[in-house]
Structure 1
Amino acid sequence: MEILQSIFSAGTGLLGYVIPALFVLMIVVFFHELGHFMVARWCGVTISEFSIGFGKELFGFYDKHGTRWKISAIPLGGFVKFLGDENAASVPDQEAMESQGEDDREGSLHSKSLWARAAIVAAGPFANFLLSIVIFGMLLFFYGKAITPARVDSVVPQSAAAEAGFEVGDIMLSIDGHEIKSFSDVQGIVALSSGDALNILVDRNGEEISLMTTPRRTEITDQFGNKQKIGVLGIRHEARPEDVIRKSYGPLQAAWGGVTETYSIIDRTLGYVGRIFVGKEDADQLGGPIRVAQVSGQVATLGIVALFNLAAILSVSIGLLNLFPIPMLDGGHLVFYALEGIRGKPLSPKSQELGFRIGLALVFSLMIFATFNDITHIFLSN
């Protein structure tokens, strides 16, 4: 850990962002592609390439099975290319498949059963979720978790909390039935609840009181100068040293904690995306590779533990993103397989090609939009 921390601390300027970002992305991408790779190999699929990054190969080697393992120049993802694929998105190469011999056809992804293909595709996102569980679990096991009581130390005048009747000394017990164990639980719920009425149960001098309040969407600036719009109640909490409890976790407790933390991130992410569609959140908070690099560099200054925590969060996000039903992504392939299961036969090559073209356009549009948000975010933060 100390060696990694010294490497990240050594970076200054652009390198201070690039090195941590590459570290985080390479871990997340490697395990995503490793999920595809391992299940494909178990299913008897011949694997042509395993690449971290896209574009020109920087260096690589062949393993005993003939798979080319390589690092490529553009570190914004990766791919596993199977026998019979036209490209890195596993689009079937119809001409190559028709000219294949019996042995080659046996090793092709597209010759496998529907369930085998679905398992190979789903293995990538599953590996991301598993990586997140392992990282969160290990952090809990080795470092525990700092817990501070969800106590109200001050109330901002004319804020949502003031209007709801919060008082100094109130301790929040639950929000809409969800138990509150630490003040960080309050922040996580309130941040994504702007405009939503919340029923908050508080302990006031031994008496339980129910308060209704609606967080207000407010622009805040974090410790690194980044601006974001989140739900705010108008409550301040002072983390006094004597209040902090360091909770320890055994192996099973830590493993389960990794599961619950991963589920919590999935739940919050889907909730945020849903709120965008109904107009309760702005899509300008969505970030791309530039934002990842910026945040990675900033988080690296807090220590290696914080950086691994970011890697776990990013792993969940990439796994979830890949499950979206967009052709070119894993979720799009799973939709095609679901339709194949319903119809009893695959979609026609022309239909699949059209779907992949639409998916490619959507993915590029999303990347352009996210990059635009990143650039705008950086200019507004400076």
Structure 2
Amino acid sequence: PGAGLKGSKDEFLSQPPGRRALIVGAGPLGNYLLGLILFYVLFVSGLPTLGTTIGGFIDDYPAKESGLQIKDKIISVDGQKVNSWEELTSVVHPRPNEELRVQVERNSDILEFNLMTKDKKIIDLSGKETTVGLLGISPDNSDLFIKKISPFAAVKESTQTVYEISKRTLLAILNILLGRLSLKDSVSGPVGIIYFSTQVARKGLNHLLFLAALINISIAIFNLLPIPVLDGGHLMFIAVERIRRKPLPLKVQENFAKAGMVFFLALFLYLTYFDIWKVFFK
């Protein structure tokens, strides 16, 4: 009986499927665009970036007994200059169990050390076990500099960042569904997000903007999942309608929506429980 339900001309269900799909997709698209704009603003105004100053050593790793000292600033690895901690790890991680020539700056002097990396097995976002090389050093979190790029380069950089975050988020969701990643360790609920946001806000506006951009991209992707009550669920119903050439009975849609609500209530309670445990008891 609900299959042929029609409202007035301006009501959502009265619109043709294509127009309804555009209306539904506008929400996630808005989140995507906002995330993209925030990343663009961050790259142009300057993103706080961690430098290469050593802040500590990890036990049982080569660096601790190598002669390196806390506050040494790493300037190159095997002749390749490194300006940020991200660049440093990108050089070291692909080289497990290899000897590296590390140059550091100490009190205006340039010193050189030969260090053997130690291998460590980790699970990457694709759910596969991979081996990375580690020196056993941790960064000095006070060594921050503002990394600025030109407005033109920021377009490419922000687009690439959104793409990488989207890819990693989708891989994480896939691996949670396949049981390769733990849901409680990979996803935060409202309590965890609020707690983490307050911690990030203390570090400054740029850090908070970065988190806001990240959350907007994640919301856009999550909202497109084909689950009833999400925009992705509505798009799924519209796709089925196009295939069947008529909408699903309203009762069927309502039952799917109820199942979706039960799922999200259970997910909310599950994540909230573990958020409280992680925030207050760990």
Residue 277 (structure 2) aligns with = 376
The answer on 1:116 being equivalent to 2:19 is yes
Alignment counterpart, residue 340 of structure 1, candidates 223, 241, 259: 241
CA, structure 1 residues 114+186, in 2 after alignment: closer, same or farther (shift >3 Å)? farther
RMSD: 4.1
Cα 1:240–1:311, aligned 2, differ >3 Å: closer, same or farther? Answer: closer
The equivalences for 1:1-382 within 5 A come to: 100=7, 105-144=8-47, 146=49, 148=51, 156-157=59-60, 171=77, 182-184=84-86, 199-200=94-95, 204-205=100-101, 213-216=119-122, 233=134, 235-239=136-140, 246-285=146-185, 286-381=187-282
Aligned with 1:146: secondary structure? strand
Q: Are 2:223 and 2:232, in contact at CA under 8 Å, matched by a contact in 1?
A: yes
Q: Write out per-residue CA displacement over residues 110-144 of structure 1, whole angstroms, 9 at most, x where no aligned residue.
A: 12121111111111111111111101110110124
- Tell me how far 1:183 sits from its aligned partner: 2.7
TM-score (norm 1): 0.54
What are the Cα deviations for residues 318-368 of structure 1, in whole angstroms up to 9, with x where unaligned?
111111111000111111111112222211222212211111111111111
Query: Structure 2: how far apart are the matches of 1:173 and 1:370?
Result: 46
CA distance in structure 2 between the aligned counterparts of 1:173 and 1:112, rounded to whole angstroms:
63
**Per-residue deviation, residues 140-183 of structure 1 (Å, max 9, x unmatched):** 101246364699x9664269x99xxxxx8783999xxxxx9843
Matching residue's letter, 2:253: Q
> C-alpha displacement at 1:199, in angstroms?
4.4
- Asked if the contact 1:173/1:203 (under 8 Å) is kept, the reply is no
Give ranges in structure 2 of 5+ residues lacking alignment. Answer: 69-73, 103-116, 124-131
Q: TM-score, normalised by structure 2?
A: 0.71
State the number of aligned residues: 250
4+ residue runs over 6 A deviation: 185-188
Cα shift at 1:315: 0.9
Secondary structure, aligned partner of 2:227: coil
Q: 1:234 to 1:124 in 2, by over 3 A?
A: farther
In the TM superposition, residue 204 of structure 1 has moved relative to its aligned partner by 3.3
For 1:183, give the aligned amino acid: W
CA contact (8 A) 2:176 2:183 kept: yes
**Structure number with higher relative contact order (C-alpha < 8 Å, ≥ 6 residues apart):** 2
Which blocks of at least 5 consecutive residues in structure 1 are unaligned?
A: 1-93, 163-167, 175-179, 191-197, 218-230
| Shift in CA distance, 129/240, structure 1 to aligned 2, threshold 3 Å | closer
Aligned partners of 2:141, 2:166: CA distance in 1, in Å?
Answer: 31
> Counterparts of 2:83 and 2:224 in 1: how far apart (Å)?
31
Render the CA deviation track for 1:170-209: whole Å, top value 9, x for unaligned. 83999xxxxx984336779x9xxxxxxx844889349xxx
Do the aligned partners of residues 236 and 111 (structure 1) sit closer, same or farther apart at CA in structure 2, a change above 3 Å counting?
A: same
SS at match of 1:215: strand
Structure 1 residue 312, shift from structure 2 partner: 0.8
Structure 1 residues 259-286: Cα deviation after superposition (integer angstroms, max 9, x where no partner): 1112222222222223333443322222
User: Could you say if the C-alpha distance between residues 304 and 369 of structure 1 is closer, same or farther in structure 2, counting changes exceeding 3 Å?
Assistant: same
Q: How far apart, in 2, do the equivalents of 1:341 and 1:294 lie?
A: 43
In the aligned structure 2, how far is the partner of 1:139 from the partner of 1:256?
13
The alignment partner of 1:157 has SS state of coil
Structure 2: distance between partners of 1:320 and 1:173: 41
CA–CA separation in structure 2 for the residues paired with 1:262 and 1:292: 20
- Is the CA contact (8 Å cut-off) linking 2:35 and 2:162 kept in structure 1? yes
